[in-house]
Amino acid sequence: MPPKTNPLRLNKLQLKTLTLFQELARSPQTSTSRGDQGFLITSIPQAHGNHFHLGEGVVMAADASGLKNESVWRALHRKALIESSFPTALILTTAGADYDTGLRDAILHGADH
């Protein structure tokens, strides 16, 4: 039997936000690795206009509303995907880093500027 898609039953906003946290963890400008304990993220990008830059890509602001949503952070914390210090920082746990959201290609777009 194939592994269950979205086994923690995250809603769409939680999935999008977790995808962005995973991308933030990939960049040394926005995160610090804590070895097998995850990634400390202290820099959340600000949108300019209808988008913001994240690594080599661009994210539409509409796909990033969970980055400033305390309820989303709380839900991800309850499911042990992050350790929240809302609104200033979070630790993306190894479970959060490894969770397959299936959205990376859908919300991260190639940059044109």
- pLDDT score of 29 more than 60: yes
Give the three-state DSSP class for 1.
Answer: coil
Residue 8: which of 93, 76, 104, 85 has the closest Cα? Answer: 76
What is the per-residue pLDDT for 111?
A: 66
CB 18 within 8 A of CB 99: yes
The stretch 12-26 carries a mean pLDDT of 97
Instruction: Give me the amino acid identity at 76.
Output: L
The stretch 82-101 carries a mean pLDDT of 96
What is the per-residue pLDDT for 46?
A: 86
The mean pLDDT of the chain is: 93
- pLDDT score of 73 more than 80: yes
| Ordered structural domains, the chain, with CATH | 12-110 (1.10.10)
What is the per-residue pLDDT for 110?
A: 84
